[in-house]
Amino acid sequence: MSQEDPSNVRELISEARIQERVSELARQIEADYEGTDEVVLVGILKGSFIFLADLARRLSIPRRIEFMAVSSYRDGDRAGAVRLLMDLRTDIRQRHVIIVEDIVDSGRTLEYLLNNLKARGPASVESCVLVRKPDGEHTPTVRYLGFEIPDAWVVGYGLDFAEQHRPLPYIGVLEQPPGDAASDEPSR
């Protein structure tokens, strides 16, 4: 099975559509932050790395790139607590921050991140999310959203299953969704 065209991944959002949407999101962000000194883009590792790279390159406003890593783990069938694995290396007090996240599923991770960063006294904190699944248990505010998707396990464009399929240029549905064992500690 080739990494580029795996037989168990069904294309959901094409490369062209993703690229078009990332450009649209960049135009929205530019309009909203026009005149601000700098926007701090906080990419959430690992899943956002390709989205962040494309978004950052399309923005014409001053921007700084930072990263955080978190991990959420499951308690039986329920999503468990979020753990901070790697913190920011910069002070965001009085700065404009946009969290760049790959996916919102239960919403727990993004809710945690928004609360965590808001507590540090930034000028503002918003979120830019590539894809969102329906009916999350938590409903954090997503200011910039790429796509609403069905409730299925998706891979590609940075998203993985057990570290597989991140380099795919499109987003696809994994035909054999992860079982309980694999989702104990989802890779990011």
**Contacts to ligand IMP by CB under 6 A:** 47, 72, 79, 103-109, 153-154, 159, 186, 188
- Strand partners for 126: 98
Nearer to ligand IMP, 64 or 133 (CB): 133
Q: How far is the CB of 57 from ligand IMP (least distance, A)?
A: 23
**In whole angstroms, how close is the CB of 126 to ligand IMP at the nearest point?**
17
Smallest distance, ligand IMP to C-beta of residue 106, A: 3
Query: Is 37 a known active-site residue?
Result: no
CA dihedral 14, 20, 25, 26 (to 10 degrees): 130
State the nearest-atom distance from the C-beta of 80 to ligand IMP, in Å: 10
Q: Which is nearer to ligand IMP, 43 or 47 (CB)?
A: 47
The crossing angle, in degrees rounded to 10, of helices 49-58 and 15-33 is 60
Alpha-carbon gap, residue 144 to 68, rounded angstroms? 19
Closest CA to 42 of 120, 155, 108, 136: 120
Find the shortest distance in angstroms from Cβ 17 to ligand IMP: 18
Query: 6 vs 30, which CB is nearer to ligand IMP?
Result: 6
10/27 with CB nearer ligand IMP: 10
- By C-beta, is 35 or 134 nearer to ligand IMP? 134
Lookup: tokens for 155: 């891979």
**Cβ contacts of 26 within 8 Å, gap of 6 or more:** 55, 58, 59
Residue of 87, 105, 160, 184 with catalytic role: 105
- Catalytic center residues: 105
